[in-house]
């Protein structure tokens, strides 16, 4: 996992480019089980709202669905 500060630039670029990085957008996420099919924890990666957080943790297994 990699962590990064969430600053104004990241917030603006995420909006402008439609960046997705949460479990809900990952091919390995099982929405019925609310779990990662690879067994990784999902709590830190679900339901993220960039305007409400100062740090973000990126999953190395993220694969855009």
What is the Cα–Cα distance from 4 to 14, expressed in whole angstroms? 14
Can you give the pLDDT at residue 58? 87
Residue 63, in any domain of the structure:
no
In a domain, 64, yes or no: no
pLDDT given at position 7:
95
pLDDT in tens, 5-46: 999 999 999 999 999 989 999 999 999 999 999 999 999 889
Given a contact cutoff of 8 angstroms between Cβ atoms, the answer to whether 27 and 65 are in contact is: yes
Domain count, the chain: 1
Does 65 fall in a domain? no
- pLDDT for res 56: 92
With respect to residue 33, please indicate whether it lies within any of the assigned structural domains.
yes
Q: Which domain holds residue 20?
A: 2-58
Q: 2: exposed, middle or buried (C-beta count within 10 Å: 0-12, 13-18, 19+)?
A: exposed
Q: Is residue 26 part of a domain?
A: yes
Give the Cα separation of 52 and 27 in Å (integer). 25
Q: Is residue 24 part of a domain?
A: yes
């Amino acid at each position: 996992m990699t962590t990064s500060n969430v600053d104004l630039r990241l917030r603006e670029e995420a909006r402008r480019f439609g960046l997705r990085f949460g479990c809900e957008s990952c091919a390995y996420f099982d929405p019925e089980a609310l779990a990662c099919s690879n067994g990784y924890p999902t709590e830190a990666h679900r339901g993220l709202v960039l305007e409400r957080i100062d740090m973000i943790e990126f999953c190395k297994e993220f694969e855009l669905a």
